[in-house]
Structure 1
Amino acid sequence: MDEAALYDRQIRLWGLEAQHRMRNASILIAGMRALSNEVCKNIILAGVGSITILEHGTVTEEDLGAQFLLRQEDLGRNRGEAAAEKARHLNPRVKVVVDQEDIAQKPDAFFAQFNVVCLTGCSPDQMIRIDHACRETKTGLYIAGVHGFFGFIFCDLTHHDYREEAQEPATERGKEPETTITQRSQSYDSLASTLEATWAYPKPRALRRKVSPLFFAIQVLWQFQQEHGGRLPQSGHADDLAAMLRLRDARLKEAQVDGSFVDDELIQTLVGSASAEISPVCAIVGGFLAQDILKTLSGKDAPLLNYFMYNGIEGTGLVHHVQKTQA
């Protein structure tokens, strides 16, 4: 099939120039998880230039529960290599490369070769390090994860220029509406600076209009990982739950947030499913993430600014603009 015909719907949506930018883009997907499967599927079908899958781990039984790019016969193989074999069949026009090294061994300069870097399953320390490296070279960065019923996305594009289209109503009968194109730009805060944000809202109800309690719960989860060698809390471990509640109290106090804002039930549910990947949650968060990556590459319309929090229990997906200094 001719390439223009293959991507006809996308060209109509984004325009030929935007499709050309995507066709020449290079994307890094670090960490092959169920969420990464969804992202790879969507951006490969959209016709990006190349994807590099960075993964040093091997396929286990747990991976087969939610990762649709893996099969029983892949047990013991490198996760990235096994997933890439199936991913290439989705769109042979997209180059899929596998790098089996550990991301912890990659120098900062490694990430500069990509247009967009997408991290899943990384440790909090690696997230902060790589975000700093990407900001130095103005490389777009997305960090995402799914923990049971909950999912998150963080976006840092450093500084991003994009076009915003709007249709003006026709001034005369019989004439078509006019489309105006406005050039806009947006600056982004680093991951580290958003983690230092203080809120100082006197009442939880007022704060809920600004940010989800899940935003702080995910931060507490990262702090737990930093204190426990990178591992996630385990369901049924009373000591892990106690540690998470202690970290919750300390984080809210540091952020000048009312202690009741993140209740015990949310922390308990997060602890109970932190290491689980639930397919529908991965599909929702992965679909949002892939669409936003494509939006960034196309340069059309504003990408995510700068957090997306998905709560599968409530069925809510909320976007939050978090800065170090909150208004």
Structure 2
Amino acid sequence: MSEQKLSAVEAELYDRQIRLWGIESQERLRASNVLLIGVRGVGSEIAKNILLSGINSLVILDDGTVTEEEQNKNFLINKNSIGKKIAEEVLLKAQALNPLVTITADISDPTKKDAKFFEGFTIIIATRIKTDFLMKLDKICRASNVKLIFGDVFGSFGYSVTDFHEHDYHEDQIKLPTQKRAHDGTMIKGEKEIVKTKGQIIYPELKRVIILPNTKQSIDHIKKTKRRNEYFYLMLILLEFRNRQGRNPEYLKKEKDIELLKEIKSEVLDLYEVDHSKLKDELFEIVFGEVVPVCAIVGGVIAQEVIKGVSQKEVPINNVFLFDPITFSGKEETIG
């Protein structure tokens, strides 16, 4: 991705951001083309944050229609939108957030898209998809050098998983002043310096991170870590639920869905040879719907990682973020 020079209008609009992460990083953002799959609760928060950051273009890909629940929790949707296509209904408010960004709505099924469709983006953000499509998408992204991050919110729990391939980044560090001796023998204290340091993170393929029951893949590389965060397994359970049911857990089907979640829990924890007491069944009571404040937090984290990935400024998460629904704190895990 080549950098794009900022116009005078853009330089004025993004002045605060340029002061924060520098003109070079802002120009990388200005040249980026982003695909967002799914613009529901957490997706709307992601869209808001990346639009304000000053990207070049955003394609919103979502074939869903607006429900009453969605209209009540999605701040990008207007009134009287029930029954209409979500991707189209969010356009007006999304564009108002940043008129300088080109925004396009695509109401087709993401799983029916040709591989070439995904190859032209700088980064893809995926929500609400099954893992078979996720693995296909990750393979396409790796072959086309397109960065990928996906995440979701289930009730009060949320997560994100990143695959930025071989990601180069830089960060500014303060070099402490040193004392120098003057000609007259007195000691002179130097000034602090800002030094740019470079680094690289090599991310594993997602098929080495998301391994579910009934797979032929080895999990030995994941099992090596004895104290894996319990919410990593909750993420796998919820992904497997979506794979089997084609949906997220629904409150109107709560009793039946919790029983299935318990069954999947046994399969996942047996696969990873984890004591079943590590993950309490009570957690399944709080994985229904999308809690709006949690969407704001997780959406903010995902957008932050998108900005890091595109701008190459600061160290991104390597590679899993888990939002603890009990303590309301974020946990980072390196898996795979």
For normalisation by structure 2, the TM-score amounts to 0.88
Q: Which amino acid counterpart does residue 41 of structure 2 have in structure 1?
A: A
Q: 1:232 aligns with which of 248, 252, 259?
A: 248
Contact 1:116–1:293 under 8 Å retained in 2? yes
Per the alignment, residue 194 of structure 2 pairs with: 179
Q: In structure 2, what is the Cα distance between the partners aligned to 1:88 and 1:146?
A: 24
Q: 1:217 aligns with which of 228, 234, 237?
A: 234
Q: Which amino acid counterpart does residue 272 of structure 2 have in structure 1?
A: A
Contact 2:45–2:299 under 8 Å retained in 1? yes
Structure 2: segments with no counterpart, 5+ residues: 1-7, 180-187, 212-218
Q: Which amino acid counterpart does residue 215 of structure 1 have in structure 2?
A: F
Q: What are the superposed Cα offsets for residues 241-282 of structure 1, whole Å, 9 maximum, x if unpaired?
A: 222212111111111222211121123433xx1xx1111001
Contact 2:71–2:81 under 8 Å retained in 1? no
Q: 1:257 aligns with which of 257, 268, 274?
A: 274
Per the alignment, residue 203 of structure 2 pairs with: 188
SS class of match (1:74): coil
CA drift of 1:13 comes to 1.3
CA drift of 1:174 comes to 5.0
Per the alignment, residue 298 of structure 2 pairs with: 285
CA drift of 1:237 comes to 4.2
Per the alignment, residue 71 of structure 1 pairs with: 78
CA drift of 1:61 comes to 0.8
Q: In structure 1, what is the Cα distance between the partners aligned to 2:224 and 2:205?
A: 23
**Where does 1:97-116 land on structure 2 (aligned, <5 Å)?**
97-116=104-123
SS class of match (1:250): helix
Q: What are the superposed Cα offsets for residues 42-77 of structure 1, whole Å, 9 maximum, x if unpaired?
A: 111111111011111221211112100102222222
Q: What are the superposed Cα offsets for residues 2-35 of structure 1, whole Å, 9 maximum, x if unpaired?
A: 3212111111111111101101100001111111
Q: In structure 2, what is the Cα distance between the partners aligned to 1:92 and 1:8?
A: 16
Contact 2:170–2:314 under 8 Å retained in 1? yes
Contact 1:121–1:145 under 8 Å retained in 2? yes
Q: In structure 2, what is the Cα distance between the partners aligned to 1:246 and 1:292?
A: 33
Q: What are the superposed Cα offsets for residues 85-129 of structure 1, whole Å, 9 maximum, x if unpaired?
A: 111111111111111211011122211100010011112222222
SS class of match (2:161): strand
Per the alignment, residue 3 of structure 2 pairs with: none
Per the alignment, residue 88 of structure 2 pairs with: 81
Are 1:170 and 2:177 counterparts? Answer: yes
Contact 1:201–1:256 under 8 Å retained in 2? no
Are 1:302 and 2:302 counterparts? Answer: no
Are 1:18 and 2:29 counterparts? Answer: no
Change (3 A) 1:193 1:83: same
Change (3 A) 1:140 1:105: same
Contact 1:201–1:257 under 8 Å retained in 2? no
Q: In structure 2, what is the Cα distance between the partners aligned to 1:49 and 1:201?
A: 42
Q: Which amino acid counterpart does residue 153 of structure 1 have in structure 2?
A: S
Change (3 A) 1:32 1:318: same
Kindly name which structure, 1 or 2, has the bigger radius of gyration based on alpha carbons: 2
**Where does 1:133-144 land on structure 2 (aligned, <5 Å)?**
133-144=140-151
For normalisation by structure 1, the TM-score amounts to 0.90
Q: What are the superposed Cα offsets for residues 221-241 of structure 1, whole Å, 9 maximum, x if unpaired?
A: 12122223x123333544432
Are 1:59 and 2:66 counterparts? Answer: yes
Q: In structure 1, what is the Cα distance between the partners aligned to 2:224 and 2:133?
A: 31
SS class of match (1:195): coil
Structure 1: segments with no counterpart, 5+ residues: none
SS class of match (1:113): coil
Per the alignment, residue 313 of structure 1 pairs with: 326
Contact 1:80–1:100 under 8 Å retained in 2? yes
SS class of match (2:323): strand
Contact 1:138–1:159 under 8 Å retained in 2? no
Give aligned pairs, total.
312
CA drift of 1:147 comes to 0.8
* Identical positions, percent: 33
Change (3 A) 1:41 1:233: closer
Q: In structure 1, what is the Cα distance between the partners aligned to 2:243 and 2:9?
A: 50
